[in-house]
Structure formats: C-alpha cells, structure tokens
Amino acid sequence: MASKVKIRGKLSGTIAKVKFLIPHPMETGTRRDADGQVIPAKYIETITLYKNDQVVMTANWGASVSKDPYLSFQINNSAAGDVIKVDWLDNQGESGSGEITLK
C-alpha cells in the first residue's frame, strides 16, 4: 500500500519553501499490539529530495521520526517551472514519491 506524499511548494524570491507529509506508520519495533505481539519495525530510512532530477538533499532517518513524517525544507536557486520531487524508502523495502512544479 504505497500512500501518496502530500507536497507543497512556494517560491519566495529564488528560494523554494517545500513542505511535505508522508503517510507512514513509523513503527519503532518496540511496541506491542493488543495480543502482546511485538509490532515489527517499519520506518522510513532514506529520503531524497530532487530539483529537476538533481539531488538537493538526502536524509537518513531512524525510527524516532514521528508517525506520518512532516518535513519543511528550503531550496536555493529555484525558479518557476522547477520540478521538486521527493522519494522515500523504508526498512521493509516499500517506497513512494511525490512531486510538484513550482509556480
């Protein structure tokens, strides 16, 4: 079940302010369900942010990033028409992405 990344971008001068939210459980692997079974760890390990297919930022995350991770980030030298894309990959190999064209 690859969920959709919600992504927003706003240009202020040449700086793009990008915000995104990834619906994801971010399970630490230490919680137990109602039957006392450990819920296996499932969390996003890597995030890659691209501007026009060029990597602008990569992030490595641990399980202690909150559920449904939200991130706000700023990108220099941006202009209208630039495509901002985010890719994520979790520890179970699931992945997803989202993109937006700056206006």
Partner 1 sequence: MKITRRQWLGSLLTLCSAALLPSRLFAASAVFSATDTQAVLDDLFAGLPIEDSDAINLRTPEIAENGAVVPVTVSTDISGVESISLIVDENPNPLSASFTLTSDSVPNISFRVKMGKSSTVRALVKTSDKVYMATRDVKVTIGGCGG
Site residues (vs partner 1, CB under 8 A): 15, 26, 28, 30-31, 45, 51, 54-67, 69-77, 91
State in angstroms the smallest separation of the CB of 101 from partner 1: 17
Cα(10)–Cα(102) distance, integer angstroms: 7
Q: What is the DSSP letter of 79?
A: -
Whole-angstrom CA distances from 75 to 15, 26, 46, 62, 64 are: 5, 26, 19, 23, 25
C-beta separation of 69 from 45 below 8 A: no
State in angstroms the smallest separation of the CB of 103 from partner 1: 19
Nearer of residues 26 and 96 to partner 1, judged by Cβ: 26
Nearer of residues 9 and 69 to partner 1, judged by Cβ: 69
State in angstroms the smallest separation of the CB of 1 from partner 1: 21
Nearer of residues 2 and 15 to partner 1, judged by Cβ: 15
| Coil vs helix vs strand at 93 | coil
Nearer of residues 44 and 96 to partner 1, judged by Cβ: 44
